[in-house]
A and B are shown apart, each in its own frame.
Chain A
Amino acid sequence: MTRTVRARALVLGIATALTLAACGGGSDTAATPAGGKGLEKTTIKVGALPIPDPAALYIANAKGFFKAEGLTVEPVIIQGGAAALPQIKSGALDISHTNYVSTFLAASKGEKIRVVGDVYQAAPNTFNLMVPKDSPLNSVADLKGKTVLVNTLNNIGTLTVEATMKVAGLTKDDVKFVEKPFPDMANALSTGQGDAAWMTEPFITATQSQSGFRKLADTMSGQTADLPIAAWMATDEWVQKYPKTLAAFNRAIAKAQQLVASDRKEVEAVLPTYTKIDAKTASVITLGAFPTTLNATRLQRVADLMLEYKYIQSPLDVKNILVGATG
């Protein structure tokens, strides 16, 4: 199955490249009119990170939920939500996985993007501040004057660490944030390049079991408990142009999201097919929640938090960004 998909992707890639190299222009993914369901577009490219969040995308594909809607979905591995933004703008991707902080930051800067579906929400111990086993740090207050590693500056990591520090009476000026990719964080801490690291799964579990790392704090508690994390986004223009396609995508993915939300085994089964997280690791890592509705009230919390910590300068009404929201 995967093999044929890959092979087809390869053939398509070569064919596209050859055609384009030959004629030097044009645009692919031209809308094939009507797939029997009156969809404006029957084949869409959907960007997703190779992490647990977008499990529903791969389940909907594997179980034929998209097919039943007359939709062919090609999942594309992306480098990050911020990196995917230019790709939905250029049309390289139709829809992409993203995180709310990146999306709201972009929206507050006037980018015409829309959140078209909820993907992932924090649960206890899904995003923790971790320290090596012999670290002198014992509480968040001890972070004063220390270096904290985050995967991306000015994003969810720094925002939730700030919110966590506020409880201990610290502000962002009390620590130094340094950007470091997740896979490099543990060694960076062990070699003194930082004092604590903001990690997610599978890194939390791996560093705990391999090197005896300790949890200093759960950054998704108190003010940030159950914080919405990831979403599906598309450009405003795309949403206007392909409403039926979007509706079909949403119906199919909602079915899969329902499965994911109710049965952890579904996630464990699909993870090894699109990530490098093996079945054994998948069965022990802590997973977040998979929301089944796009709820404006719940998402407004993220925007308000961003305003409070000055990630955005003026209030952002998320209702204007959401498509098909409730609440």
Chain B
Amino acid sequence: MIKARILRGAAGVVGFLILGELTIRFGLTDDVVFPPPSLVLWEAAALLADPVFLSGVAITLTNWALGLLASVVIAVPLGVLLGSVPPVERATRPLLEFLRPIPSVAIIPLAILLIPVDSMMKVSVIVYASLWPVLINTLYGMHDVDPLAKESLRSFGFGTLDVLRRVSLPSAAPFMLTGVRIAAGIALILAVSAELLAGGTGGIGVFVLQAGSGNRTDLILAATFWAGIIGMVANVLLVAAERRLFHWHQARTGATT
């Protein structure tokens, strides 16, 4: 069954690439110059042997991982605090709701001006952007904790911290991981956007800047291809982690909904 699903997915991708290839080769007028998928994939494969590109990918991924990690370290405890102390949540909610919809890419120019260390600037904007999904999902997770389970523990004489540790956190954990998964995609967008706007010594976005100035649309697309693959792999891994760690949660929500 899984095999059939993979086959169908692959057929979709191949069909799309062929359609793109044919459209670009025969559908476009000769005046429009655009690299067809075959060329882009060829260049993308060649990039795997380009040490400069690979070290750039390492730089981008390092910023991405640090940013994501920092946002989890900040957002999870904050979400737990807000979720378990309602007055604090009510006091901070308006501010959060104001900050959250600001397009994160729009704060990059401000970050460039304020933060003198390039990698720190990039990690900061990643943290800012990926904070929200983790925070909001943690909040929802904390709200979603079964009140009966909490009450039961309390009636057996357990303290607040014990209730938090034994009921609330495990119950909210799947929500947190979902938040992290959404944040991972956003973090990658910001990691590359920050490089596109600020440049740097290396990175996927920096490579794209170089390719653009050199009139190499094929290389721009090849680098973009790898950015897409990285995002996809990160998502697949996190979905697998969710399934593995929290299969009981899926069983539970699956049974009640």
From A88-96, A122-130, A223-231, A311-319, give the one contacting chain B: A88-96
- A18 in contact with B66 (CB, 8 Å): yes
Most chain A beta-carbon contacts within 10 A, residue among B198, B214, B216: B214
Distance of A146 Cα from B137 Cα, bound (Å): 52
Interface residues on B, range: 35 or more
Closest to B214 in A: A276
Chain B, range 97-137, C-beta contacts under 8 Å to A: 109, 112-121, 123
Q: How far is the CA of A27 from the CA of B118 in the complex (A)?
A: 11
Number of residues on chain A facing chain B (CB within 8 A):
51
Contact A17 B215 (CB under 8 A): no
Q: Known contacts A6-B51, A17-B66, A90-B116: does B209 contact A79 (CB below 8 Å)?
A: yes
Chain B residue with minimal CB distance to A51? Answer: B213
Among A32-40, A203-211, A233-241, A261-269, the one that faces the other chain is A203-211
**Known interface pairs A3-B55, A13-B59, A277-B214; A87-B119 also in contact (CB < 8 Å):** no
B235 lies within 8 A of chain A by Cβ = no
**Residue in B118, B123, B200, B214 whose beta carbon sits within 8 Å of that of A21 in the complex:** B123
- The 10 closest A-B CB pairs, nearest first, are A276-B214, A190-B31, A91-B116, A6-B55, A50-B210, A86-B113, A78-B199, A9-B201, A17-B119, A90-B116
Q: List 12 A-B contacts (CB under 8 A).
A: A6-B55, A6-B201, A10-B58, A13-B201, A51-B213, A77-B200, A79-B197, A90-B113, A92-B116, A182-B212, A183-B215, A191-B32
Residue in B closest to A212 when the chains form the complex, CB atoms: B31
| Interface of B toward A, CB cutoff 8 Å | 29-34, 51-52, 55-56, 58-59, 62-63, 66, 70, 109, 112-121, 123, 196-202, 206, 209-217, 219-220
The answer to the question of A187 belonging to the interface, with a C-beta cut-off of 8 Å to chain B, is yes
| Contact present for B210 and A77 (CB under 8 Å) | yes
Whether B212 and A77, one on each chain, are in contact in the complex, defined by CB atoms closer than 8 angstroms, is: no
A203 to chain B, nearest CB (A): 6
Is A320 engaged at the interface, CB distance under 8 Å to the other chain?
Answer: no
| A173 / chain B contacts, CB cutoff of 8 Å | none
* A92-B213 in contact (CB<8A): no
The chain B residue sitting closest to A47, CB to CB, is: B199
